[in-house]
C-alpha cells in the first residue's frame, strides 16, 4: 500500500512561487542600483565589479533599476506579509519555527549527515531542524531587507529608523549583505531540492507527496 | 498531523493514476500561471513610456511619491552633523554650467529672475537674497547614485525667501520651478519640500564662497531630496500651480525624488 500525503498547502505553494520571480527581480533591480556606486569588497575581492556590468552592457541603468525596485517591492512586501499571516493563522508556523535551543544542535547534525559525516538523522516532524532554522531565518532576513530598505529609501522622513539601523551607509551595507544571503540560500536550497529528488519537488507544485509503505510521511 | 494534511490511501495501481492526474493538473496550472505572469511582466515592460519609464511603472512611482509627500512634514528634520564629520564633495554634474573662458572665468551671472503669475518678473541680485536671515546647517548630501557626504551650507531658508519675495496678496502655489540661466538644467519641486525648514538657497559651502563648479553664486540645498534636485547656479525661480518639468524626470527618474 502506498499513499499520497498533502505536504504543502495550496496557499503556501502560491506564496512560494510568487516570491521566487519577485525576489529574483528585486535582486536584479537591486544590482542595477548598486552598480551606480559599487563599493563593497570581500577582502581584496570586488563584489560585482565594474567590468562585469560593463561586459553585460548594463552601465547607466540606475533609473531603470529604481523604477523596477520601487514598483515590485509592493508585491514582495504584500506576499511576505500574507505568507507570515497565513502561517500564523493556519498553525503551519509550528512546523516551520524552531521551538527549542536543541534545534541548533540538531541542525548541525543534519548538516553533518548531509555531508556524509554523520550517520543518523535526529527525530523530526515535517521539517528537520536545519530546515526550520533556514525557513525561519529567511523570513527574518526578508523583514531585515524591508526595514533597511526603508531606511535607505527615506532616510530623512524615517531618520529614527535609519539611525536605529546604524546610519545611512550601514543600513545600505546590511541591505546588500542580506541580498548576498538570499543568493547563498538559493544555492543551498536548489542543491537540497535536487538531492531530495522529484517526489519532493513535485509536492511543491501539486501539494502531494507519494509515501511508500514503511516510510515516514 | 493537522486535519488539513489529508492522506489519500489507494491500491498501488490506483495511486499512480491519481498521482498522474494531480501532476497533470498541477503542472498545467503552474505552467499557465508562469506564462501568464511572464506575459504580464512583458506587457508592463513594453508599455508606452512616460518620460522614459513604462507607464504602469510610472503610475506606481507617482503613487509612492504621493505617499511620501503625504508623510513629509516640517517636523521631520534631517540629521545634522558636527564640523568634524564634513567630508569631500566631488562636483558631480555640470549640467547647465557653461564653459569657463580661456582665463578660467565663468560666464557672468545675470541675476536671479523671479516669476509669479500675479506680478511682472523681477530680477534679484545676491545682495537681495543675503538680506534675509542667515541660516547655517551641516547636513548629509545624498546622491541618487548611492553615495553621500556631509557638508556645511550657509544661505537663507527658501521659506523666508518666499515670504519676502512672493508678491503681497499672492497665494502660495503648489509647485516651484528652478532653472539655470538658459534652462539647460531645471528641477521641479513640490511646495511642501521647498518650504521645509532645511531647504536653503546657499552661497557658502564649508565656510567658503561657492565655487563655480558647485553652483556659484547661489544654489539650492534641499536635504529632503536627492542631489539631483539641489540645482546649482540658479537663474530662474518660478512659482506655479502646474507641476513643472524636471531634467532627470525626463530621463526616467522619479519626479518627487524625496528622501
CATH number of the domain to which A190 belongs: 1.20.950.20
- pLDDT classification of A73: cutoffs 50, 70, 90: very high
Query: What pLDDT sits at residue B104?
Result: 73
- Per the structure, how many domains does chain A have? 1
Range of the domain at A29: 3-211
Query: Mean pLDDT across the stretch B196-213?
Result: 95
Q: Could you report the per-residue pLDDT of A170-180, keeping only the tens digit for each?
A: 999 999 999 99
A33 min Cα distance to partner chain B (Å): 7
pLDDT tens-digit series, residues A18-48? 999 999 999 999 999 999 888 888 878 888 8
Element (H, E) at A62: helix A62-90
Backbone conformation region of residue A122, classed left if phi is above 0, alpha if psi is from -120 to 50, else beta: beta
In a domain, A54, yes or no: yes
| Average pLDDT for chain A | 88
Q: Which residues on B lie below 8 Å from A205 (Cβ)? A: 23, 26-27, 30
Of A56-60, A190-194, B46-50, B101-105, minimum mean pLDDT range: B101-105
Q: Does the residue A216 lie in any domain?
A: no
Place of cell 501568464: B36
Q: How does residue A121 score in pLDDT terms, banded at 50, 70 and 90?
A: confident
The beta-carbon neighbor of B30 closest among A36, A63, A205 is: A205
| pLDDT attached to residue A216 | 57
- Do the domain assignments include residue A217? no
Q: Which of these, A3, A51, A53, lies nearest to A33 by C-alpha position? A: A53
**Does an H or E element contain B134, and which?**
strand B134-142
Q: Which pLDDT band holds residue B102 (cuts at 50, 70, 90)? A: confident
Q: A67 and B252 in contact (C-beta within 8 Å)?
A: yes
CB contact under 8 A, B57 and A68: yes
Residue A81 lies in a domain: yes
* A149, containing H or E segment: helix A129-153
Q: Can you tell me the distance from the alpha carbon of A166 to that of B152, in angstroms, rounded to the nearest whole number?
A: 22
pLDDT of residue B111: 92
Band (A214; pLDDT cuts 50, 70, 90)? low
Length of chain A: 217
- Count CA atoms within 13 Å of residue B240 on its CB side: 15
Percent of chain B with pLDDT over 90: 75
Q: Is residue A91 part of a domain?
A: yes
pLDDT band at B127 (very low <50, low <70, confident <90, very high): very high
**Is A45 within a domain?**
yes
Which residues in B lie closer than 8 A to residue A70 (C-beta atoms)? 60-61, 64, 254
Ranking B33-47, B87-101, B216-230 by mean pLDDT, the lowest is B87-101
CB contact under 8 A, B7 and A21: no
Could you tell me which residues come within 8 angstroms of residue A199 by beta carbon, excluding any fewer than 6 positions away? A209, A210
Neighbours of B249 (CB within 10 A): 25
How high is the pLDDT of residue A215? 63
Phi, psi (rounded to 5 degrees) for A197: 95, 175
CA-based R_g, chain A, Å: 20
ipTM: 0.88
Length of chain B: 259
Q: Does the pLDDT value for residue B178 go beyond 80?
A: yes
Residue among A34, A29, A37 at smallest CA distance from A69: A29
Give domain status of residue A151, yes or no.
Answer: yes
Residue A180 DSSP one-character state: H
Predicted pLDDT of residue B136 = 96
What is the model's pLDDT at position B1?
41
Q: Is the pLDDT of residue B193 over 70?
A: yes
Distance from CA of A139 to the nearest CA of B (A): 23
A27 CA to centre of own chain:
11
Q: Which of A21, A67, A216 is the best mutation test for B, with the most CBs of B within 10 A? A: A67
What are the start-end ranges of the E strands in chain A?
2-6, 41-42, 45-46, 208-211
Tens of pLDDT, residues B154-177:
999 999 999 999 888 888 999 999
**Cross-chain CB nearest to A6 (options B5, B41, B57):** B5
Report pLDDT for A102: 77
Q: Can you give the pLDDT at residue A91?
A: 85
Half-sphere exposure in the Cβ direction for B192 (13 Å, CA): 15
Q: With 60 as the cut, is the pLDDT of residue A165 above it?
A: yes
Nearest to B86 by CA among B134, B136, B139: B139
Question: Looking at beta carbons, which residues of chain B come within 8 Å of A172?
Answer: 146
Amino acid at each position: 500500500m502506498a499513499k499520497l500525503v498533502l505536504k504543502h498547502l495550496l496557499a503556501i505553494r502560491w506564496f512560494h512561487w510568487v516570491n521566487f520571480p519577485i525576489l529574483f527581480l528585486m535582486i536584479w533591480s537591486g544590482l542595477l542600483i548598486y552598480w551606480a556606486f559599487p563599493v563593497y569588497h570581500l577582502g581584496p575581492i570586488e563584489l560585482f565589479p565594474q567590468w562585469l556590468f560593463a561586459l553585460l552592457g548594463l552601465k547607466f541603468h540606475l533609473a531603470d533599476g529604481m523604477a523596477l525596485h520601487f514598483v515590485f517591492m509592493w508585491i514582495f512586501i504584500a506576499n511576505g506579509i500574507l505568507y507570515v499571516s497565513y502561517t500564523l493563522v493556519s498553525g503551519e508556523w509550528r512546523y516551520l519555527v524552531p521551538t527549542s535551543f536543541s534545534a541548533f544542535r540538531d541542525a548541525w547534525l543534519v548538516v553533518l549527515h548531509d555531508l556524509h559525516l554523520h550517520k543518523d538523522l535526529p527525530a523530526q516532524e515535517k521539517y528537520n531542524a536545519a530546515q526550520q532554522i533556514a525557513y525561519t531565518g529567511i523570513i527574518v532576513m526578508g523583514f531585515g531587507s524591508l526595514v533597511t530598505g526603508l531606511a535607505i529609501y527615506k532616510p530623512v522622513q524615517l531618520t529614527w529608523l535609519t539611525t536605529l539601523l546604524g546610519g545611512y551607509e550601514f543600513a545600505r551595507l546590511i541591505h546588500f549583505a542580506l541580498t548576498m544571503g538570499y543568493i547563498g540560500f538559493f544555492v543551498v536550497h536548489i542543491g537540497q531540492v535536487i538531492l531530495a529528488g522529484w517526489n519532493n519537488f513535485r509536492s511543491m507544485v501539486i501539494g502531494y507527496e507519494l509515501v511508500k509503505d514503511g516510510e515516514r510521511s | 498531523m493537522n486535519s488539513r494534511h489529508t492522506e489519500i490511501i489507494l491500491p498501488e495501481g490506483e495511486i499512480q493514476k491519481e498521482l498522474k492526474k494531480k501532476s497533470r493538473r498541477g503542472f498545467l496550472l503552474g505552467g499557465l500561471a508562469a506564462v501568464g505572469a511572464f506575459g504580464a511582466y512583458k506587457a508592463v515592460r513594453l508599455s508606452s513610456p512616460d518620460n522614459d519609464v513604462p507607464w504602469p511603472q510610472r503610475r506606481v512611482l507617482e503613487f509612492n511619491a504621493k505617499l511620501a509627500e503625504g508623510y513629509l512634514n516640517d517636523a521631520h528634520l534631517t540629521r545634522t552633523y558636527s564640523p568634524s564629520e564634513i567630508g569631500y564633495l566631488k562636483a558631480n554634474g555640470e549640467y547647465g554650467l557653461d564653459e569657463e573662458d580661456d582665463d578660467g572665468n565663468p560666464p557672468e551671472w545675470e541675476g536671479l529672475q523671479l516669476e509669479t503669475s500675479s506680478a511682472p518678473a523681477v530680477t534679484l541680485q545676491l545682495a537681495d537674497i543675503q538680506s534675509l536671515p542667515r541660516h547655517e546647517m551641516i547636513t548629509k548630501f545624498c546622491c541618487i547614485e548611492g553615495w553621500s557626504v556631509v557638508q556645511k551650507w550657509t544661505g537663507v531658508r527658501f521659506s523666508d525667501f518666499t515670504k519676502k519675495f512672493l508678491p503681497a496678496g499672492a497665494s502660495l502655489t503648489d509647485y516651484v520651478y528652478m532653472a539655470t540661466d538658459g534652462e539647460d538644467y531645471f528641477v521641479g519641486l513640490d511646495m511642501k519640500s521647498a518650504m521645509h525648514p532645511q531647504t536653503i538657497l546657499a552661497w557658502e559651502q564649508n565656510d567658503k564662497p561657492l565655487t563655480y563648479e558647485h553652483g556659484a553664486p547661489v544654489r539650492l540645498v534641499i536635504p529632503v531630496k536627492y542631489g539631483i534636485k539641489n540645482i546649482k547656479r540658479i537663474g530662474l525661480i518660478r512659482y506655479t500651480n502646474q507641476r513643472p518639468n524636471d531634467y532627470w524626470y525626463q530621463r526616467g527618474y522619479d519626479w518627487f525624488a524625496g528622501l
